[in-house]
Structure 1
Amino acid sequence: MTLVEYLERNDLTIAAFARQAGLKSRQLVHRYVRCDRFPPPEALKKIRDATGGAVTADDFVNQHLARQVAA
């Protein structure tokens, strides 16, 4: 599941999720959602933990690969 799918299914804003996950800023989360930036390992762990494992590093890899193929 992508992070944006998780946010939509759980009716969360990017800002609310950033706070919940203990991430540095909503701007970073926004960049992760848009595939503008790949989360570093520490952020990946926080995202996995905050989503109860629903969003993993593999989900980000797949999202970035799909974006590259589409480009």
Structure 2
Amino acid sequence: MKLEQYLKENDIKPVAFAAAIDVAPSTITRILRRERTPQIDLVAKIKAATGGQVTMEDFLAAETAA
């Protein structure tokens, strides 16, 4: 599942999600805009915060499709 889809389905604002995983809101914004691919440590935080619904494979799929 894409991060954008997860946030939308769970009615979570990007700023709130960023705070929950202790990163700058701009980091999440850049990821959502596909301006940045997260490093492995950030992917681990995202995966944990989403209960495993957003994984490294979701980011890799987005990168190869671009």
TM-score (norm 2): 0.94
Encode CA deviations 1:3-42: one digit per residue, 9 max, x unaligned: 000000000110000011222x010111111111110111
1:19 maps to a residue whose letter is A
Structure 2's unaligned 5+ residue stretches are none
Task: Tell me whether 1:44 sits opposite 2:4 in the alignment.
Answer: no
Question: Which runs of structure 1 show a deviation greater than 2 angstroms over 4 or more consecutive aligned residues?
Answer: none
Give identity over the alignment, percent. Answer: 36
Computing the radius of gyration from Cα coordinates, the structure with the larger value is 1
Q: CA RMSD in A?
A: 0.7
TM-score (norm 1): 0.88
C-alpha distance in structure 1 between counterparts of 2:55 and 2:25, whole Å: 19
C-alpha distance in structure 1 between counterparts of 2:12 and 2:50, whole Å: 11
| SS of aligned partner of 2:60 | helix
C-alpha distance in structure 2 between counterparts of 1:3 and 1:55, whole Å: 6
Count of residues in correspondence between the two structures: 66
